[in-house]
Structure 1
């Protein structure tokens, strides 16, 4: 047999069935074929493997020593093909045991991660979630499978990366409840007729979150509007921001989603930003290599469900 003359799938199936039935007639019935067709297939398989494989005896079609040696590998191949055909249904959240790693911003640690973790614990208690940073290594991590998803505003990811928009963001300002110079409704959005104005915004001291692509949009807007902030504190992320605004008279300017969560959690005043800042969309991103992988599809569907997209 030459290296290219691999047996067809139907011939391997015949070999498997004939080994069990020891009858060409019963093998033909099991395969839904005529007896002459099965006889032709058997002749082709004998030719390719250079062995009679089965010989007629009073006990039926008895396998030769070569057939005995080959039945195990043949069945391994057939079982592998069956598993491949059933791969689509290979992920059962209720019984799955695997790690799912998501690159996200620290804002998503506050706004998304608790909800996502609760949903995963309900549906897939054996799944372990890991949160990782969004950085210059994110695209490579998605391609290699080191990370499953990236969730955030990540405009620099390559054009080959799949994405789904989850929600859009505009900008708000946070202040402590009862701030002596800033009007607003405690812990909720307030009407525009009592909104913070630019003059008051510039007069107040600010806490600044310097990290993230969104921060660049805010800085560009400040430059366009020729607004200078009096920065009293700069933070590398959103961790601790709510407690700081709650306990001081500092203002914070940030995307609405994280602002709303912090306002509700810490009883803060939330108002529209008094000058225009370019909004942005938060998306989930994944690599085409894993687009059809069942576990990935389940995770992406769960994230979309959390934002009312399914």
Structure 2
């Protein structure tokens, strides 16, 4: 062993335990090693420190003055290593002053953000939330730390991105509760005959368009909207109908007293997940935010 080489961690653990127990047998049991192995390790430590360290006596292995002098520094090193292994930047939501940027669709602004904001204000009054779009820049933003989470249906995100399921989505249609031509059930014939409001944005919009193409259905679109803002009021005040994912559909229906109908077209469902980059998987603040989201919106809630 070279003079400038550091001792193995196992030798420091041996020194610490032997100083306490005064017994090679008990040290072997605690370290899960044989007594011959412990004797070999002790020989290496003695060679390294140029001192016998422990002398066999009727009362056990008695430490030498050199061992008495070194036990303090040895235990400081071991404690430092324990702190190093358990290290993380603490995140206390009650006192944290931080901004979290979450990429989400405008549907999530209506369905998820109000509840999330209410809980954040209650648990972490110094935390600020910022909602950003889900777009082609989302993956880079998660990797760089510009964004903390992406919540939604984002199937194109690549490697290095963790994901966690929140809930499954199917499709519904909304109509005025007093619609003259739609009663308890919306059939495919009525679906084709009515005027529609089409939502052109959103990560699930392509699934709806693909389903309509497969079924060879061309809606009578009266109004196109880039998002869900104002949609509930429009359906409530007209005889138009709209097709959209269940979560946003039921939220708008409750807020605007609308009727919710099963979608008569077979549209592929999708799963809403939260996504984050591997770089921030163990970061304490990101973990807190993720735990809040799964607590509020996970299937087991």
Q: TM-score, normalised by structure 2?
A: 0.74
Report the CA distance between 1:213 and its aligned residue: 2.2
Alpha-carbon distance in structure 1 between the residues aligned to 2:154 and 2:280: 19
* Alignment correspondent of 1:281: 271
Alpha-carbon distance in structure 2 between the residues aligned to 1:107 and 1:200: 26
Deviations 1:270-308 (A, max 9, x none): 100011000000000000111111111111000000025
* Alignment correspondent of 1:227: 217
Report the CA distance between 1:88 and its aligned residue: 3.6
Deviation beyond 6 Å, 4+ runs, structure 1: 4-10, 80-83
How many residue pairs get aligned? The number is 245
- Contact conserved, 1:195 with 1:274, CA < 8 A, in 2? no
Alpha-carbon distance in structure 1 between the residues aligned to 2:284 and 2:97: 13
Counterpart check, 1:135 vs 2:165: no
Counterpart check, 1:92 vs 2:92: yes
Alpha-carbon distance in structure 2 between the residues aligned to 1:276 and 1:151: 25
* Alignment correspondent of 1:162: 162
* Alignment correspondent of 1:118: 118
Q: Which runs of 5+ in 1 are unaligned?
A: 11-32, 45-79, 184-193
* Alignment correspondent of 1:182: 182
* Alignment correspondent of 1:13: none
Shift of the 82–95 alpha-carbon distance from structure 1 to 2, 3 Å rule, reads: farther
Give the alignment's Cα RMSD to 1 decimal: 3.0
Q: Secondary structure at the match of 2:295?
A: helix
Report the CA distance between 1:40 and its aligned residue: 6.6
Report the CA distance between 1:265 and its aligned residue: 0.2
Report the CA distance between 1:160 and its aligned residue: 2.5
Q: Which runs of 5+ in 2 are unaligned?
A: 13-62, 74-79
Shift of the 8–93 alpha-carbon distance from structure 1 to 2, 3 Å rule, reads: farther
Report the CA distance between 1:176 and its aligned residue: 1.1
